[in-house]
Structure 1
Amino acid sequence: MSPVTSVVKRMWLLLAVSAVAIVAALGIYRLHRVFGAHEHPAVMAKAVIDVPLFNPKQVIYEVFGPAPTARIAYLDPDAHVLQLPDVPLPWSQTVTTTLPAVSVNLMAQSAADTIGCRIIVNGTVKDERSVTRPKALTFCQVTSA
């Protein structure tokens, strides 16, 4: 018996596993190429149309009435709730934002029988309410401006 056949008899299983592994690797590589797994990623181009800048919006909150003070809570354009106890009336707060849309809210309560509120956006009154009743409570709301 020749030395080559004795090596093949001892190593046949290793050679068979190696051959199967090589054939499987080549098959997987070909399947990846068929289904596009090795293609280069798409390059994102800059948009031709630039997004226009939004004009700043000026939001003015106002609370008025005959009472000397009021409790006020309001939602600013950044969606932060601010609470102010015992604020002297008349009261006003101005906020400027560059957001494309503004949703703001204002609530006021006084110990008097009358209270009113107003929200002005860019010089236009968007909401105004007045209430007459004991311990008057009112709110103003602008959902989108």
Structure 2
Amino acid sequence: MGAILRVARRHWMWVVLVVVIATVGFTVARLQGMFGSDNRITARSVESLDNTTYNPKRVTFEVFGAPGATATINFLDEQAQPQRVDNAVLPWSRELTTNDPTMFADLRAHGGGSIGCRITVDGVVKDERSVDAESGYIACLDKAA
């Protein structure tokens, strides 16, 4: 018994450390179980999210101005990737078709003189703007296209 007490006096910090680590580990494991953090959440595959019954949406971008004038045009395509058309002859238009229920339609143009833009979704004008300036800049936007 005397030998055990001598060892315990010498190494008491290690014994306390092991007891503390074991207690903390047990407590954390119990708390995770109580609050459900050990539940696994699964997501559906991309293929199951495809909406095959949705009618395609047709989004038309238009930039207009004096016939034969040119403009630099920036827009977001179907995948929301920026596209740029330099020295586009006006009037200019681009039709995008998508099966996605929503599309962020963003159209911007810069040209000399009078310039305008229009966003049409399935034949309905969603945004139309024009400006008459020496160095015209115009932007049309539809967040719910």
Q: Name the TM-score class by shorter chain.
A: 0.5 to 0.7
Residue of structure 1 in register with 2:62 after alignment: 62
Q: Which runs of 4+ in 1 moved over 4 A?
A: none
Match of 1:72 in 2: 73
Shift of 1:52: 6.8
Tell me, in whole angstroms, the C-alpha distance in 1 between the residues paired with 2:69 and 2:133: 16
| Letter in structure 2 aligned against 1:101 | T
CA displacement, residues 11-65 of structure 1 (integer Å, 9 cap, x when unaligned): xxxxxxxxxxxxxxxxxxxxxxxx9xxxxxxxxxxxxxxx772111001000000
Give the 3 Å change call, closer, same or farther, for CA 114–55 of structure 1 in structure 2: same
Cα deviation, residue 125, structure 1: 0.3
Say what the alpha-carbon RMSD is for the aligned residues. Answer: 1.7
- Structure 2's unaligned 5+ residue stretches are 1-32, 34-50
- Structure 1, unpaired ranges of 5+: 1-34, 36-50
Q: In proportion to residue count, which structure has more strand?
A: 2
Give the TM-score normalised by structure 2. 0.62
Q: Which residue matches 1:139?
A: 139
Cα distance between partner residues in 2 of 1:132 and 1:62 = 17
Aligned length, in residue pairs: 95
TM-score, structure 1 normalization: 0.62
% identical aligned pairs: 41
Is the radius of gyration larger for structure 1 or structure 2?
1
Q: Distance in 1 between matches of 2:91 and 2:84?
A: 16
Residue 78 of structure 1, CA deviation:
1.1
Pairwise CA distance, 1:77: 2.5
What is the SS of the residue equivalent to 1:78? coil
Which residues of 2 match residues 1-145 of structure 1 at below 5 A?
A: 53-66=53-66, 68-111=69-112, 113-145=113-145
Partner of 1:28: none
| Aligned mates of 1:137, 1:69 — CA distance in 2 | 12
